[in-house]
Amino acid sequence: MIRKAHVLIIDDEKNQADALSESLSKIGYKCSTVTSGKKGLEIIRNGEIDIVITDLIMLNIDGMEILKETKEISPETEVILITGHGSIENAVTAMQKGAVTYLLKPINIDHLRTVVDKAVEKQSLVRRNRELHKQLEEKYGFAGITGNSQPMHRIFHILKQIASTTATVLIVGESGTGKELIARAIHYTGPRKNNPFVALNSAAIADTLLESELFGHEKGAFTGALNQRMGKFEYANNGTLFLDEVGDMPLSTQVKLLRVIEDGRIMRVGSNETIKVDVRILAATNKDLGKLVEEEKFREDLYFRFNVVCLRLPPLRERQEDIFLLIDAFIQEFSSKHGKKIKGITPEARKILFQYSWPGNVRELKNCVESMIIFSMDGVLDSNNIPEHIYKSNKTALPGPVFPVGITLDEMEKELITKTLAYVSGNRSETAKILGIGERTLYRKLDRYGLK
């Protein structure tokens, strides 16, 4: 893989360029040579060049200019400067501008080969890491959201479809399912990602202050309004406004919000002048808006405005195969945050966390893992670190498999493995963790029982 890299050699001394090309071609590199900086830049612009080796001193376009232009055209392309007129100042300047190294003539061929090998290895590692990150993102998440269950794959599919749009989205889900995280993912993967993301929880603000928070107010508009104040809509102009818990919004505010959505203009409290705003709205609720419409507690026309795209987030109990992915992600996050070296989590603790029903959803699991890390003494999370209400919970624990009397141990084990595999959508790594055995042991048992 390394030997197939394409090396471009730029040197106005043709013999020197040919000699370097020959020495690198002998160990498998594809080499091209040119005798002017202008021709070199044309090749770099038109083709994929992995490594550029360029003389420093040349007519018209010198090596420093080649380095600068190359990094602008193709930041990943590595550049090696060579010269017969070396100086510490030039070497430092070259390295600061992104050169791999600075070599003096006459060139030591063995040293050059080593430098090129290391440059290509570094380049290959960067590309592999980027590809791995892409694969992990496709398999396990979207913009920082973790999940490999079927319900989450459906969510990811919808997110990818709407990412490039500015459509209004209604996010529905129980408390703790990650509605704001989804909203941020939509914003930061969309066309407004470089503009503000502003969040407002409708349930956390008194009805009398909600309009001021949304639309702003003028000085003296009401008691305590000592200065003019911008509202969330103005702060979010050209960006995204996330309205959380819209089901708790009073009808009087709903009317004004509908007007803003329809004509794109707001009016500060205490003002008669309208202000033009361009805002994408993402709304979220843990309530049934359709039922609230029937009860005349939510405006039907506003409901239809919100419900252009509806995302229903599954509770954690419906995506249990994601629990271990989430646990591992939270261990990594909070180990770093609290400066703790966590080696892992015991099978018994994993089992307890897996069987718990998580009424508080992902937020509750996140808080649980953080608490376990804080109270861990030996770097291994075990059942003693689990919060007492979770550890002692029986009513919310999932029932285990029941085996009839007379079944053999082998039949019981085969059935247990089969059910566990089915429960985690065939994920063998998660199956091994749940059963408290190594993956190699699981593979041997799969082979033994003829399970695919």
Res 166 pLDDT > 50: yes
Number of Cβ within 10 Å of residue 319's Cβ equals 23
DSSP 436: T
Give 439's pLDDT tier (boundaries 50, 70, 90).
confident
Per-residue pLDDT tens for 337-385?
899 989 889 888 888 898 899 999 999 999 999 999 999 998 899 999 9
- Cα gap 202→208, rounded to integer Å: 12
Under the phi-then-psi rule, with left for phi > 0, alpha for psi from -120 to 50, and beta for the rest, what region is 143?
left
Establish whether domains 2-132 and 143-314 are of one fold: yes
- Cα gap 282→373, rounded to integer Å: 34
H helix count then E strand count, the chain: 19, 16
- Cα gap 327→366, rounded to integer Å: 8
Judged by DSSP in three states, 266 sits in strand
As a whole number, the mean pLDDT across the chain is 86
Arithmetic mean of pLDDT, 153-177: 92
Give 394's pLDDT tier (boundaries 50, 70, 90).
low
DSSP character string of 160-220: HHHTTS---EEEE--TTS-HHHHHHHHHHTSTTTTS-EEEEEGGGS-HHHHHHHHH-B-TT
- Is residue 358 a contact partner of residue 177, using CB atoms and an 8 Å limit? no
Specify the pairing of strand 274-276 against strand 265-267: antiparallel
Per-residue pLDDT tens for 94-134?
777 778 888 888 889 999 999 999 888 888 877 776 665 56
What is the predicted pLDDT for the residue at 396? 46
User: Could you tell me the residue ranges of all domains in the chain?
Assistant: 2-132, 143-314, 319-390, 409-449
Arithmetic mean of pLDDT, 156-185: 92
Res 287 pLDDT > 90: yes
- Cα gap 157→135, rounded to integer Å: 15
Per-residue pLDDT tens for 46-66?
878 999 999 988 888 888 899
- Cα gap 155→146, rounded to integer Å: 11
Per-residue pLDDT tens for 178-232?
999 999 999 988 899 889 999 999 999 988 889 999 999 998 888 888 888 889 9
What is the predicted pLDDT for the residue at 73? 86
- Cα gap 67→64, rounded to integer Å: 5
* pTM score, whole prediction: 0.63
For residue 352, the surrounding DSSP H or E stretch is helix 347-355
- The 3 state secondary structure assigned to 47-103 is CCCCEEEEECCCCCCCHHHHHHHHHHHCCCCEEEEEECCCCHHHHHHHHHCCCCEEE
**Lowest mean pLDDT: which of 170-179, 210-219, 381-390, 427-436?**
427-436
Amino acid at 340: K
Arithmetic mean of pLDDT, 162-182: 93
- Cα gap 424→122, rounded to integer Å: 37
Q: Which two tokens stand for residue 90?
A: 């030039």
**Fold of the domain spanning 409-449:** Arc Repressor Mutant, subunit A (1.10.10)
Per CATH, the number for 143-314 is 3.40.50.300
Burial of 378 (0-12, 13-18, 19+ CB in 10 A): exposed
What is the predicted pLDDT for the residue at 91? 67
Amino acid at 90: N
319-390: in CATH 3.40.50.300: no
What is the predicted pLDDT for the residue at 285? 96
- Cα gap 15→39, rounded to integer Å: 17
Give 249's pLDDT tier (boundaries 50, 70, 90).
very high
Arithmetic mean of pLDDT, 82-94: 72
Handedness of CA 173, 176, 180, 181 (dihedral sign): negative
- Is residue 258 a contact partner of residue 299, using CB atoms and an 8 Å limit? yes
2-132: in CATH 3.40.640.10: no
Give 395's pLDDT tier (boundaries 50, 70, 90).
very low
Dihedral pair phi/psi, residue 289, rounded to 5°: -65, -35
- Is residue 430 a contact partner of residue 392, using CB atoms and an 8 Å limit? no
In the chain, % of residues over pLDDT 90: 45
